[in-house]
Amino acid sequence: MLPPKSSGLFDRLAEYFADHPRILLTLQLAPAIVFVAGVVFVPLASVFAWSFWTMEGRRLVPSFSTDAYARFLGSTGDTFRLEVFATSLRIAVTQTAVSLVLGFAIAYFVGIRMRGSKYVLPLLLLFAVPFLTSYLMRTLSWHAVLQRFGLINTLLLGLGVIREPMTWLLFSEFAVHVGLLSTYLPFMIFPVWLAMSRIDSTVLLASADLGGRPKDTLFRIVIPLTLPGILIGCIFVFVGVLGDSVVPALLGGPGGSSTLLANLMDRAVGGDDLPLAGAMASITLLMAIGLILAWEFFFGLKKIGEI
């Protein structure tokens, strides 16, 4: 029997899209692409364009000048921005490493050792609770813990462990690390835990049955299967720290820890120097893209999708 003849616009369209699935996919994705382009790529492109524009008085004027990049790189003899950039990178890498070690341990405990426990979710939520308060207040609360006669110094003085308050606890790079860690650790824990929670229990049991020691299971099964979560966590922490200006401003000290890259950008904007702020933002953005490309080169981005 012959199939019924198609009639009507919808039938013809359905037939057409059935024959041309790529066009259908493009049309389905178009609204999302337009939206993302509008709210993400257009602003980023604007920032990139501004980095080549110039300020005439208080007006940003379209032109093509690499002056902002030259100033960032220290062409005028002031290399302090490069130094701040280097400090920011060092702190971001350190934070990522520390967050990875601590975050992985916590995620392993919750995702593997406590698997099936009713306490998993409450425990994870504990790490999200601080986010219910103001970021400023959360950061300021560290003053009470770290200041000259704060919780730690008072406790240690009371126990006779120290004779003088340790002033380096606050307004120092140490304080910045503490503040950043408390902020960004959950950004490592959650994706790593999510990746671990997807590892089939039978795989872990099989490893044990085949004589694998816990260390072997960890390094040969858990870590490889958790890599996508680790990558995402590292990106969250690294990028987050590079873009943070609150913690350095409130907890950093005069030794260079109170001004990181994001503070430099804030100050450039505050000084009506949008080209310089744009140049710094563009360099950070290009660096982030470079990191993603490097990952693609060595491991392949497909792995991220496996989470």
Partner 1 sequence: MEEKPESQSAVPEVPEGGRMSRRRFLTYAGIGAGVAAAAGFGGYWVLSRPQPPLQWWGVGTGNPEQDVWPGLGDQVIFSTAPWDPVPVLQRMRTGGRNEYDVISNAGTLDDPLAEDGSIVAFEPQDVLPSWSKIYPELRTNNPTITVESTGEIVGVPIVQNGDSVAMLLDEIWGPGTTVPGQGGDTYGLLFDEQFSQKTAMESSWACAIYKVGNYLAHNNLATLSDPDTYNTADLNTIKNFMLAEKAANQFRTFWTGWETAVGLLTTKDVLAMDTWEPVVFALKAEGINAYYMDPKEGFYLWNIPIYLTPRGNTVTRDRCLRLMEWTLQGWYGARITTIRGYLTATPDAITYAQANPNAQGGPYDSAFIQSRHDKVKGKFSDGVSVYGNQSPPNIQAYQDTWTQVIA
**Can you give the binding site for partner 1, defined by CB under 8 A?**
55, 57-58, 78, 80, 83-84, 136, 140, 143, 147-150, 167, 170-171, 249-250, 252-254, 256, 258-259, 264, 267-273
Q: How many CB atoms lie within 10 A of CB 155?
A: 12
Instruction: For residue 56, list its beta bridge partners.
Output: 59
With respect to partner 1, which residue has the nearer C-beta, 1 or 137? 137
Rg of the chain in Å (alpha carbons): 26
At closest approach, how far in Å is the CB of 286 from partner 1? 22
With respect to partner 1, which residue has the nearer C-beta, 104 or 142? 142
At closest approach, how far in Å is the CB of 173 from partner 1? 12
With respect to partner 1, which residue has the nearer C-beta, 112 or 276? 276
At closest approach, how far in Å is the CB of 183 from partner 1? 17
Distance CA(235)–CA(246), nearest Å, equals: 19
At closest approach, how far in Å is the CB of 65 from partner 1? 14
At closest approach, how far in Å is the CB of 80 from partner 1? 5
DSSP 168-218: GGSSSHHHHHHHHHHHHHHHHHHHHHHHHHTS-HHHHHHHHHTT--HHHHI
At closest approach, how far in Å is the CB of 166 from partner 1? 12
Are 143 and 249 within 8 A, CB to CB? Answer: no
Distance CA(268)–CA(51), nearest Å, equals: 12
Distance CA(50)–CA(18), nearest Å, equals: 45
With respect to partner 1, which residue has the nearer C-beta, 189 or 268? 268
With respect to partner 1, which residue has the nearer C-beta, 84 or 194? 84
With respect to partner 1, which residue has the nearer C-beta, 272 or 296? 272
At closest approach, how far in Å is the CB of 137 from partner 1? 9
Distance CA(257)–CA(223), nearest Å, equals: 33
With respect to partner 1, which residue has the nearer C-beta, 242 or 264? 264
Distance CA(295)–CA(230), nearest Å, equals: 12
Q: How many CB atoms lie within 10 A of CB 217?
A: 19
With respect to partner 1, which residue has the nearer C-beta, 92 or 237? 92
With respect to partner 1, which residue has the nearer C-beta, 224 or 255? 255
59, containing H or E segment: strand 59-61
Range list of H helices, the chain: 9-19, 21-36, 42-50, 67-73, 80-108, 120-128, 135-146, 151-159, 173-197, 201-209, 214-217, 223-242, 246-251, 261-270, 274-298, 302-305
At closest approach, how far in Å is the CB of 270 from partner 1? 5
At closest approach, how far in Å is the CB of 229 from partner 1? 35
